[in-house]
Chain A
């Protein structure tokens, strides 16, 4: 993928974790980043949009940030119910295409 995410991350319940998404000036560097949560067999769900905004109903345990050509999803107070795949997404102006990261599997040990 043009957007690079770690394949997996893990942490204990109650702890915090960050998931990175690395791109370039043609995508993350000049576009909004969004983050999606996906449980097995279900549709993705929007967690973060416009780099750091949460849709209504998303707990403030989830946060997003962007710096230069990288973005980060943060989750604090981890719960077993947070175990899922997480994807970043952004527009690439040079490709005229929406891009997704390869996805990160979160395990709450």
Chain B
């Protein structure tokens, strides 16, 4: 079964650190770019970051640029999202998602993790 299983998150303090993990199974992880998407409480979806097949390409939303770091370990079939300076406005459910592209055209996010809650509060 194709699956993304997320871990990490919880209640964190402003200025604190975050490390989210997303373990892939059931497909060739290294063949796909991967992304993180977040959803603040009661609000819509917001793209956060994307990483290429082997990590050589990364892209970030302006709202998290310089604050979040996306990475992957293809030997462990795992995607990561890290931050060392969390803000209250980073409070959201974070989803990892498998990215599909046709050439330079983005198709869709076809597989999603179950989501993990990150609450930033003092």
Which residues of A line the B interface, CB within 8 A? 1, 31-32, 34, 36, 42-46, 49-50, 55, 87, 89-91, 96-103
The CA-CA distance from A89 to B107 in the complex, in Å, is 10
Q: Which residues of A contact B111 (CB under 8 A)?
A: 46
Q: Which residues of B contact A50 (CB under 8 A)?
A: 102, 107-108
Digitize B96-111: 1 where CB-to-A-CB distance is under 8 Å, 0 elsewhere.
Answer: 0000101001111111
B35 and A98 within 8 A (CB): yes
Indicate whether A55 sits within 8 Å of B110 (C-beta atoms), given known contacts A87-B45, A89-B45, A97-B61. Answer: yes
A98 and B113 within 8 A (CB): no
- The verdict on B27 contacting chain A, using a C-beta distance below 8 Å, is no
Q: Which residues of A contact B45 (CB under 8 A)?
A: 36, 44, 87, 89, 100, 103
A43 and B95 within 8 A (CB): yes
Indicate whether A32 sits within 8 Å of B112 (C-beta atoms), given known contacts A49-B100, A98-B47, A99-B47. Answer: no
- The verdict on B59 contacting chain A, using a C-beta distance below 8 Å, is yes
B44 and A102 within 8 A (CB): yes
Q: Which residues of A contact B109 (CB under 8 A)?
A: 34, 36, 44, 46, 89
Main secondary structure of the interface of B (DSSP, over half): strand
The CA-CA distance from A46 to B45 in the complex, in Å, is 13
Q: Report the tally of A-B residue pairs with Cβ distances under 8 A.
A: 65
Q: Which residues of B contact A45 (CB under 8 A)?
A: 112
Q: Which residues of B contact A49 (CB under 8 A)?
A: 100, 107-108, 110
Which residues of B line the A interface, CB within 8 A? 35, 37, 44-47, 50, 59, 61-62, 95, 100, 102, 105-115
Shortest beta-carbon contacts, A-B, top 3: A49-B108, A34-B108, A98-B47
Q: How far is the CB of A8 from chain B (nearest CB, A)?
A: 13
Question: Can you report 9 residue pairs joining A to B where beta carbons are below 8 Å apart?
Answer: A1-B44, A32-B102, A34-B109, A36-B109, A42-B115, A43-B95, A91-B105, A100-B37, A102-B44
Q: Which residues of A contact B62 (CB under 8 A)?
A: 97
Q: Which residues of A contact B61 (CB under 8 A)?
A: 97
Partner of B46, one of A34, A36, A42, A100: A100
The CA-CA distance from A108 to B108 in the complex, in Å, is 27
**Chain B, Cβ-Cβ closest to A30:** B105
